[in-house]
Amino acid sequence: MGVTSVLARWASTSVRVLVVEVPGSDESRMLLEAELGRRGWSVALSPADADLLAVCGIPGDELRAACDLVWNQLPGPRTRVSVTTAAALPALLDGAVAHLVDDSRQREDARARSQPVAAEDPTPDAGEHEGMSHEDMDHEDMDHGDMDHGAMDMPMPGGIPLAGGGDDRDGLEMDMLNVPLGPVLPHWPAGLVVDCVLQGDVIVSAKARILQAASAPTEASEQAMTDVVDARRRIIRLCDQASQLLALAGWQAAEQNARRLRDDSLRGADLTDHGAALDRLRRRVERSTLLRWSLKGLKLTGSATRDDGADLSIRHRLIGWLREAAELAGTIPGGGPIAAHDANRAQEAQEAQDALDALPDLLRGTDLGTARLLIAGLGLDTAALRETHEHSHD
Residue 344's pLDDT is what? Answer: 64
Class of domain 8-113 as given by CATH? alpha beta
CB-based contacts of 250, cutoff 8 Å, min separation 6: 294
From CA 226, how far away is CA 380, in angstroms rounded?
Answer: 21
Domain spans in the chain, listed from the N-terminal domain onward: 8-113, 172-210, 227-392
pLDDT at 226: 46
Intervals of the chain under pLDDT 50: 120-152, 217-226, 332-342, 392-394
Alpha carbon distance 35, 37 (integer Å):
5
Q: Which helix (H) or strand (E) holds 10?
A: helix 3-11
Q: 99-102: list long-range contacts, CB under 8 Å, 24+ apart.
A: 100/8, 100/11, 100/12, 100/15, 100/51, 100/52, 101/5, 101/8, 101/9, 101/12, 101/77
pTM metric for this prediction: 0.77
Instruction: Please give the full DSSP string across 212-271, using - where no structure is assigned.
Output: PBSSPPPHHHHHHHHTS-HHHHHHHHHHHHHHHHHHHHT-HHHHHHHHHHHHHHHTT---
